[in-house]
Structure 1
Amino acid sequence: MVEFQLARVEAALQVRREALRQAEELDELRRRVDLQQARLEAAVVGRRRALEAVERGKERLQEQIERVLPLSRALTAVHQRVQEAKEALSGDKFRLNNLQRLLRTRQQCMVSQVAGLYPVRIFHDLPRHAENPCADTNGEHGALPEENGTFSGGNGTHLPTIIKSPQARGWTFFGWDIMKHKIKQKSYRNKELQRSAAVLGYAAHAVLLIACYLDVPLRYPLRFGESRSYVSDRLPSADTASAALASTRNTESELTEYPLFLECQEDDSTSASYAIYLLHKDTEQLLNYVGAESCGRHVFGNLRELLRIIQSDEFVYS
């Protein structure tokens, strides 16, 4: 009987222990469920906050889009206007190039007329009468072998023609060495001086016409007077040196004319030599305008090169 009761008590204790174990497992499961539920709620809250942040970001983005959209439309309109302006500018540039080509063609035509009026040639041989043009009492001269044709004269009037001789150093015209302005031959006669003055006057006229056709203001202005032509500079002449020294207070000096001629062989050739130098500087200025360099201190050489460049196709299509 006692054993039976002990067995029942033992069974009850066993059931009790099993119930406690199950209760502990149930508590553990409940704790895990609560933890998972808390995590899930935290995740839901985080997702809700993330969605709210996304919504706020969408709203801000929409506001930015609304602000940027008019700017984008304005930028598109400006870009379109720029493209239209570029097209118009391209058309204007094309028309400008055509007008410039027509202008240079016209300038080339007018300068070609100057070249025909005042031809500049190179003579390879210097005949004896070129060294002394007045040796012939009748004023007749034979033909000179030249590079592009022949030259002869019997009326005492000569166009500006360059004479280059193997015996003569530098460029000469009618026996005058224009490379050495300070040297003056004592054998010059009035007819030689007149011919030289006429040649320089013709050269000055050619330079003046070319500068006018190219619309280039000459640094040293020219005044054409045939054989009595002048070139001006803002420097005092020898006659006005003392007056210039007395007026050094003036900031600007007046133009002083220098003759491209000699009245007689007793005249001082300094002014005429300086005038030739200024004429050379004018031809050099025109050469620089067409994009060329000077050929040295050769007035007629520079003039010949200037005419050659202007009459070339590069001048029109450059």
Structure 2
Amino acid sequence: MEQIRKVSSGTDVPDQDNEKVIEWEDFEHDLARLVSLSSALNEAKEKKRSLRQKLEDHIQVNSESLSRLNELEEMRQKLESKKVKMENISMRSRIAKENASKKKEQLGVEVESLLVAGTALSVSRRRLQESSRLLFEEKGYIQLRKLQKMLRMRQQCMTSQVSMLYPVKISVGPAQEQELESYPAGSLAGNSAGLKQANQGSLTILGLHLTMLSFKKMSFFTDKKEIQKSATALGYVAHAVSLIASYLHVPLRYPVRLGGSHSYIIDNAPSMDVTSSDSSSSAMSTANTKHMEFPLFLDGQDTTRAAYAVFLLNKDLEQLLNSIGAKSLGPSHVLANLRELSRIIQSSTFIDSMI
């Protein structure tokens, strides 16, 4: 007891009030309690360390599970997108299959039509070969020449009847307004006498003069009778042109709608915008076809449409002349071109120029 006190007194403790004196009888009990507390503290530290290790392991497992869940979610999204793509591909393949079946049916129909066309083509080829064989033979070629000559003679006969129906003649004497100003050398009669005679007078059709000045300039003092005569003459020319074109089997570029002295010429593709103040001479268009009709007569003060109609009529004459290998005499020579057309068709060179 005294030794414990000595030890306690030998220890340098600054605060004497905090000193605790332990009796020897209680020392063993306190020592045992301290040992148990120390062992409990060590156990607690060990448990703390084990719990920390377990907690770290659990946190690591949770983080790995979260990362795997994220990966699974990404894989699920990719799977959904691939599923949508597969559905689209399946739908496209189904549509392509249906289209292929339809095209197969169409191809079958086309093959059948092709077989029919091939059969018809083979028949036509045999006929063509037979016709070629007959043509290259002497009798076949002679027969063709005879048929062509008969056709040309028939065309000459019909054209001569048109010339008798609408004769184009030269009226000898002074003429104030001539439609024919000058001819190329040898273009009409082929000699100087015919050219001199043509220059001395003006051309008439069925005794009527075609006055071109009234179609270019209209005034208050213009003679109405001359205008009516010119319209009648143009009606004669239009009728003659349509007849000769039908005989030569030439489709006119500008068709004619006959109406006597009130005839019209049709332009299926007009390149100019021609307006008129009079409703009777306005453009007549239908709902099915796009064309314009121009009057071959003067009915009012507007002369532009009538002059353009005469120009188109002369273009038809030029087309007929070109079809038989001749050239036009000019854009304003309507009667001269008609006379030249009739002369060439009725000449012997028309038959000699057979193909």
What range is the shorter-chain TM-score in?
A: 0.5 to 0.7
- Equivalent in the alignment of 1:94: 142
- Equivalent in the alignment of 2:305: 271
Decide whether the 8 Å contact of 1:160 with 1:200 is kept in 2.
no
The reply to whether residue 301 of structure 1 matches residue 349 of structure 2 is no
In structure 2, distance between residues paired with 1:280 and 1:186: 28
State the shift of 1:89 in Å: 4.0
- The runs of 5 or more residues in structure 1 that have no matched partner are 1-80, 132-145, 152-157, 163-172, 241-251
In structure 1, distance between residues paired with 2:210 and 2:312: 20
State the shift of 1:160 in Å: 4.8
The reply to whether residue 116 of structure 1 matches residue 185 of structure 2 is no
**Structure 1, residues 68-107: CA drift from partner, whole Å, max 9, x if none?**
xxxxxxxxxxxxx99x937744432221111011011011
**Structure 1, residues 21-40: CA drift from partner, whole Å, max 9, x if none?**
xxxxxxxxxxxxxxxxxxxx
The reply to whether residue 194 of structure 1 matches residue 205 of structure 2 is no
In structure 2, distance between residues paired with 1:99 and 1:239: 49
Decide whether the 8 Å contact of 1:259 with 1:272 is kept in 2.
yes
**Identity of aligned pairs, percent?**
45
1:220 to 232, 254, 257: 254
**Structure 1, residues 203-259: CA drift from partner, whole Å, max 9, x if none?**
11111110011111000001111001111112165349xxxxxxxxxxx97121100
The reply to whether residue 126 of structure 1 matches residue 174 of structure 2 is yes
In structure 1, distance between residues paired with 2:234 and 2:212: 11
Residues 254 and 201 of structure 1: CA distance in aligned 2, closer, same or farther (over 3 Å): same
Residues 123 and 306 of structure 1: CA distance in aligned 2, closer, same or farther (over 3 Å): same
- Equivalent in the alignment of 1:260: 296
In structure 1, distance between residues paired with 2:307 and 2:322: 23
Q: Secondary structure at the match of 1:121?
A: strand
Residues 147 and 117 of structure 1: CA distance in aligned 2, closer, same or farther (over 3 Å): farther
Q: Secondary structure at the match of 2:339?
A: helix
Residues 239 and 184 of structure 1: CA distance in aligned 2, closer, same or farther (over 3 Å): closer
- Equivalent in the alignment of 1:176: 212
Tell me the TM-score normalized by structure 2. 0.47
In structure 2, distance between residues paired with 1:210 and 1:87: 30
State the shift of 1:194 in Å: 1.4
The reply to whether residue 313 of structure 1 matches residue 348 of structure 2 is yes
Decide whether the 8 Å contact of 1:118 with 1:202 is kept in 2.
yes
* Counterpart residue type for residue 308 of structure 1: R
Decide whether the 8 Å contact of 1:232 with 1:255 is kept in 2.
yes
**Structure 1, residues 153-192: CA drift from partner, whole Å, max 9, x if none?**
xxxxx84558xxxxxxxxxx354348xx533354323322
Q: Secondary structure at the match of 1:280?
A: helix
Decide whether the 8 Å contact of 2:153 with 2:351 is kept in 1.
yes
Tell me the TM-score normalized by structure 1. 0.53
State the shift of 1:300 in Å: 0.9
RMSD of the alignment, in Å? 3.2
Q: Secondary structure at the match of 2:168?
A: coil
In structure 2, distance between residues paired with 1:90 and 1:189: 64
Which of the two has higher C-alpha Rg? 2
The aligned runs of 1:137-176 (5 Å cut-off) are 159-160=205-206, 173-176=209-212
- The runs of 5 or more residues in structure 2 that have no matched partner are 1-128, 179-195, 277-287
Q: Which has the higher helix share?
A: 2
In structure 2, distance between residues paired with 1:184 and 1:294: 27
Q: Secondary structure at the match of 2:297?
A: coil
Decide whether the 8 Å contact of 2:234 with 2:261 is kept in 1.
yes
- Equivalent in the alignment of 1:285: 319
Residues 109 and 121 of structure 1: CA distance in aligned 2, closer, same or farther (over 3 Å): same
State the shift of 1:123 in Å: 3.1
